[in-house]
Structure 1
Amino acid sequence: MNPRTIPPLSKYTRMTEVEAEIASLETLGFDELIARCEISDRSNPGYIRSESLVHRMRATRSDNNDARFNRLFVLFLRRIARALPRAERTVDGKVLVDAATKDINDAALDRIRLLVTLDRSGGDRLDFYEVHFDEAVAKLRLSARRRVSARAERETPIEVDDDSGVLVASAQTTGAHANDADDAILSDPIFRPRLLAAIEALPQEQKEVITMTLANIPSQSSDPDIASISGLLHCDPRTVHNRRKRAIAALRQALGLGEDK
């Protein structure tokens, strides 16, 4: 493919840096492309953006067989999985699995497999993954979370605080809103129909934070293997906090709730 004739997306426009990277990858041999797509460290000079990986995977639609697609698809799924919150954690040498998180992640992976299968026949189902991969995954998980939320809520584990003896909800399932009381409107079903439209009207940087918050992605994480909003957006946790605060204020205004007291 001539780098000057990269086909445009039907609904969105790729970031300039993504377009440039896609063009630069045209000179790579396929094995070298695979080797670079296997790099997961975003600070590595050889790292290839997930948006570009998605583009190259979709470009194999015109191949006579699935050999190249299969190799790229494995790496694509790996990127998806790494962007999802981990369901497993190790405590005292034992691996504990958060059932609700695992169910949501499994549903998200099942959904993306279906979308990729359908996309192989053409269409624009994966266009947004070429525009903003991290936000696309956050929306994917949010959609999966809605589908399994009823069961997840019923299975929320209850623990006893060692100091007070008070029953408390597991920290693993309290989600990204635990320390943000003003985020209550995000989970209130009363506001949901108007809320989604209001979120779409937010500035891009605020919409990204709110979308990832709804997907239960934490603002920050000390574990490099756990996806966090600050990590995905490459910004300071304080910046995430400020963007969310401005977004919540805008959402409250859009919903006619006035200033948060």
Structure 2
Amino acid sequence: MIAPLTKRKKKDGTVYERPEHIERLLRDLQGLPRDQLFERSLIRDRSNPLHVPSECLVHFLRASRCDNSEAWFERLYKTLLDRVSRAIPGSDRPGNTTSLTRARIREKAIDRFIELVSQDRKSPGDHMDFFEVRFDLGIKRLRLDAQEQAWRDENRSVGLDDVDTAMENDSGTVVVDRLAEDFSSDPLFRRKLYAAIGTLPPEQSRTMHLLLQGWLTHSSDPEIMTIAKALNCSDRSVRNYKERALKTLTALFNQGDDQ
């Protein structure tokens, strides 16, 4: 019998359920010899009828704690970690700032996944349930969380010249002139601005963090990593995020003029 999940959704409190096709496949796969299941887990082509979805692989990895077989766990773990590594973009141009940031994001996301697996193995709970429901989305969330952390780390050491340039990049307006001027001259203002950016909706916050690092919103060069590519959205969406964020920040700090 395949044990049900226990994690509850924040929205309505209902328990997460695996997709029906995953449940059916788990029932079929659990009767296979381990060597056969492992061989099928190595198939990368998702269109192959013998391909084992990552949701299933996560389930068997978690279930292995009941088998008292470290060897079986290690085989599944290495295969799953390989899938996680391939799902998170790496550094394509070693040495430049963008690639270094992407490398840090990748490292943080993979480290977090390893931490979750370790935590689940030592103290079974619902930490990994979502990965049995929507593995790809779970990995995407880890990557976005890692981006947020990497951007916060970068912001602590970003240079003032970089900030001035980033504030002017692609804006086409003077709405941020005062923000950039105050940012450069007032350390307290910089802290307040970072705090304010942190209160923005996620897409706007991420856009502003990347702008402050000097990332471009778009580029005709397909090899250049842009904000649109990092956020997996269109150039137009990035422009909208930026404009809304700047309006909010400008209004916020204008309100504080007399305080």
- TM-score tier by shorter-chain length is 0.5 to 0.7
RMSD: 3.2
AA of the residue aligned to 2:227: T
Distance 2:39 2:60 in 1: 14
Partner residue of 1:98? 99
Structure 2 partner of 1:7: 3
1:60–1:69 Cα contact (<8 Å) kept: yes
The amino acid of 2:147's aligned partner reads R
Aligned length: 175
- Deviation string 1:127-150 (CA, Å, 9 cap, x unpaired) is 000000000000011111111113
Following superposition, the deviation at residue 43 of structure 1 comes to: 1.2
Matched, 1:131 2:133: yes
Greater mean alpha carbon deviation, residues 176-185 or residues 111-120 = 176-185
Q: Classify the secondary structure of the residue corresponding to 1:125.
A: coil
Q: 1:150-169 to 2 correspondence within 5 Å?
A: 150-152=152-154, 154=158, 169=216
Residues 100, 173 of structure 1: 8 Å contact kept? no
Q: Unpaired segments of 5 or more residues in structure 2?
A: 8-15, 166-213, 247-259
- Aligned equivalent of 2:29, options 21, 25, 31: 25
Amino acid at match of 1:71: R
**CA distance in 2 between partners of 1:107 and 1:127 (Å):** 20
CA radius of gyration, larger in = 2
* Aligned counterpart, 1:202: none
- Specify the alignment match of 1:41 in structure 2: 45
- What is the DSSP-based 3-state SS (H/G/I as helix, E as strand, rest coil) of the residue aligned with 1:88? coil
- The residue type equivalent to 2:30 in the other structure is E
Distance 1:168 1:132, change over 3 A: closer
Q: Supply the distance in 2 between the matched residues of 1:187 and 1:130 (Cα, whole angstroms).
A: 35
**Contact between 1:14 and 1:130, CA under 8 Å: does it hold in 2?**
yes
- How far apart in 2 are the matches of 1:38 and 1:186? 40
Name the structure 1 match of 2:75: 71
Higher strand share: 1
Tell me, what secondary structure is at the counterpart of 2:89? Answer: coil
> Which structure shows the bigger proportion of residues in helix conformation?
2
Which protein has greater RCO, CA pairs closer than 8 Å, 6+ apart? 1
Residues 88 and 97, structure 1, Cα contact 8 Å, conserved in 2 = no
> Is the CA contact 1:60–1:68 (under 8 Å) kept in the aligned structure 2?
yes
- Say whether the 8 Å CA contact 2:227–2:238 is kept in structure 1: no
User: Counterpart of 2:60 in 1: which secondary structure?
Assistant: helix
Structure 1 unaligned regions, length at least 5 = 159-166, 192-261
| TM-score normalised over the length of structure 1 | 0.59
Structure 2 CA distance, aligned partners of 1:126 and 1:80?
Answer: 14
**Which residue of structure 2 lines up, in the alignment, with residue 145 of structure 1?**
147
2-structure distance, mates of 1:29, 1:188: 57
| TM value normalised by structure 2 | 0.59
